[in-house]
Chain A
Amino acid sequence: MEELKNIAPHLSQLTKKDAFAAPEGYFDELPSMIQDRIIANSRTKSRFLSPVWSLGTLGIAAVCVVVFFIGKSPEVNEVSKQEVAAYVNDNIEMEFDETLLAEELATSKNEFSASEASLEDYILNQDIDENLLREEI
């Protein structure tokens, strides 16, 4: 307080008191609250170190590794669009009966409706050669 007298005379005259009060009984409970948290922490720690958890983690890791390699190896599943188009051209296209297909479409319960504008948008988005289209029409 002596050193304050010169620097801050008003402050040095104030009665010093601890205004921050803890709720009643807080300091009786605090040691056991801390002990409980320490016990809870050590339980969590020991649970993660237990053989069951270690084996479980190891198992999950093994499954992840297997799934990763299985997912990567069969590259045959990856077929490009061009390859699909070529396959359809070579094998399927000729097998379609166009008349049958037209009849099927006409009697289909799935009604198809589209406005002229949306059809126009669709055609424009398909990158179709306009001259070829005019010739066809």
Chain B
Amino acid sequence: MAEYSDKELLEMFHTDQSSYAFNLLVRKYQKKIYAHVRRIVIDHDDANDVVQNIFIKVWKGLEKFNEDSELYTWIYRISVNESLTFLKKKRTKFFIPIHNVEKEMSDKIDAGEHFSGDEIEKKLQKALLTLPEKQRIVFNLRYYDEMPYEEMSKVLGTSVGALKASYHIAAKKIEENLLGR
């Protein structure tokens, strides 16, 4: 299947092919968004719920989408917000203190369900869970998605300088954790 550019998809959406265009958009971004969300919420079922909510929000907002900003950046922004909202709800819903949610996610990595990584990868993911949420997101966007700082700045609404500092601190912490310091 030919992959359309974001501009082409938006043009198609504004004609009478909105459902078809949306379907193509989901197919274009689903793997990236799933991977991004999964790294934040860890569990597959949780990631599935969040990803569906993200695309439903995209569908609802696409009509009014301001084409001055990039579609890709906008979808990532929704993803970050939805993932953080999900974790927040999880905490307030079950009155679980912060460390317990992280413990639950760490246990899920150990259980290894839908997880294909080796022991080093497990260690890395568990080390990532020790970071504050937003720092973890900065690290994931930079390390795994290789997103340029300028784009990250648009997604997270934070200055490039602050993002660089955040990534630097996160990488240092991970390094120390991996080396067992």
Contacts and interface: CB of A to CB of B under 8 A. Distances in A.
A93 interface: no
A7 B171 contact: yes
B143 A37 contact: no
A11 B23 contact: no
A114 to B, nearest CB: 49
Secondary structure type dominating chain B contacts: helix
A34 B56 contact: yes
Contacts of B35: 18, 20
Which of the listed residues B42, B116, B125 has the most CB atoms from chain A within 10 Å of its own CB? B116
Contacts of B174: 8, 11
A20 B31 CA distance: 11
Contacts of B121: 17, 19
Contacts of A115: none
B51 A30 contact: yes
Nearest to B51: A30
A34 to B, nearest CB: 5
B34 A22 contact: yes
B56 A16 contact: no
Kindly state the interface size class of chain A when it binds its partner. Answer: 20 to 34
A8 B56 contact: no
Contact of B23 (A18, A21, A35): A35
B116 A34 contact: no
Nearest to A21: B116
B44 A37 contact: no
Contact of A22 (B19, B26, B42, B44): B44
A20 B178 contact: no
A23 B44 contact: yes
A8 B124 CA distance: 13
Interface in B128-159: 143-144
B59 interface: yes
A10 B27 contact: no
A16 B143 contact: yes
Given A17-B121, A19-B116, A33 B172 contact: no
A19 B168 contact: no
Contacts of B116: 19-21
Contacts of A34: 26, 52, 55-56, 59
Given A20-B114, A37-B56, A38-B59, A31 B143 contact: no
B96 interface: no
